[in-house]
Amino acid sequence: MAEAARAAILPHFRAEGLGADNKLSEGFDPVTIADRAAEKAMREVLAVRRPMDAILGEEYGSEAGDSGLTWVLDPIDGTRGFLSGTPTWGVLIALSDAAGPVLGVIDQPYTSERFEGGLGRAQWSGPLGSRALGVRPARPLSEAILFTTFPEVGTEAERAAFRRVAAQARLTRYGMDCYAYALLAAGQIDLVIEAGLQAYDVQAPIAVIEAAGGVVTDWQGGKAHEGGQVLAAASAEIHAAALELLNG
């Protein structure tokens, strides 16, 4: 599925004249021909290989199944970045049961990087080879690297909560979309904090990060696989510190 999505997307990345439709009547939530082509390509694979499974995709919605398993697809997570030419977007593929995601893939076609997690596997592969994924060792929040996609995180109350954590972190960076979660699983950063997410935004990252030894919850410490507020952390200790500030 990831290979099929790569083939559908790459001809459009940084292509002259690439346009986007806006999903919103107010604001800007873009979708491109590449988003739609990639999800169609992945659904075609599933129709042949796993026709009994359900599908939830960002662009083409839900499709029923009878196996108890659901494939959760975001063909391009980070379409704004895709339109801007930055290689921080990715293809998200998750396999979930009633309890949440059990397998996830974060695929970055342009850099040829793939982050996989679940079912006993936590693996990175890319231009320089492959290796096991593993989160950073535990450290104080004062030494943490924190990521989020937008400086304007969610509501004003959510922004204020994020700023309480950012004020205590060593470094805060913005605009990475799903690639931030991949970096957390790869041991490069310590925290990702976001709000307003959908299930297809977060289920693959949850599976990958948990397989790499990290922690992902909502801002109350509960399950986050349905989206909303998400706190991803490299360790239980730094997760607890961030959670306390988010709810302070």
CA of residue 2 relative to chain centroid, distance: 14
Are β-strands 191-197 and 61-63 bridged in parallel, bridged antiparallel, or unpaired? unpaired
Q: Take residue 175 and report the two structure tokens written for it.
A: 């605009």
Containing structural domain, residue 19: 2-132
Statement to judge: residues 185 and 116 lie in one domain:
no
Statement to judge: residues 119 and 214 lie in one domain:
no
Statement to judge: residues 7 and 116 lie in one domain:
yes
Statement to judge: residues 11 and 112 lie in one domain:
yes
What local confidence, expressed as pLDDT, does residue 39 receive? 98
Statement to judge: residues 7 and 128 lie in one domain:
yes
Model-level pTM? Answer: 0.95
Statement to judge: residues 219 and 155 lie in one domain:
yes
Statement to judge: residues 10 and 81 lie in one domain:
yes
Task: Encode pLDDT of 80-98 as tens digits.
Answer: 999 999 999 999 999 999 9
Statement to judge: residues 151 and 178 lie in one domain:
yes
Statement to judge: residues 61 and 177 lie in one domain:
no
Burial letters for 29-43: b for 16+ Cβ neighbours within 10 Å, e otherwise?
Answer: ebbbbbbbbbbbbbb
* CATH value at residue 36: 3.30.540.10
What local confidence, expressed as pLDDT, does residue 4 receive? 98
Query: Domain ends where: 104, 132, 160?
Result: 132
pLDDT at 126 over 80: yes
Domain count across the chain? 2
Task: Encode pLDDT of 107-120 as tens digits.
Answer: 999 999 999 999 99
User: What confidence tier does 14 reach under pLDDT thresholds 50, 70, 90?
Assistant: very high
What local confidence, expressed as pLDDT, does residue 157 receive? 95
Statement to judge: residues 73 and 148 lie in one domain:
no
Task: Encode pLDDT of 20-72 as tens digits.
Answer: 888 766 676 789 999 999 999 999 999 999 999 999 999 999 999 999 999 99
Statement to judge: residues 38 and 145 lie in one domain:
no
Query: Domain ends where: 132, 162, 188?
Result: 132
Statement to judge: residues 33 and 148 lie in one domain:
no
Query: Domain ends where: 111, 132, 153?
Result: 132
In angstroms, the Cα distances linking 227 to 87, 197, 202, 224 are 23, 5, 6, 6
Task: Encode pLDDT of 203-247 as tens digits.
Answer: 999 999 999 999 999 999 999 999 999 999 999 999 999 999 999
* CATH value at residue 160: 3.40.190.80
Task: Encode pLDDT of 158-198 as tens digits.
Answer: 999 999 999 999 999 999 999 999 999 999 999 999 999 99
User: What confidence tier does 148 reach under pLDDT thresholds 50, 70, 90?
Assistant: very high
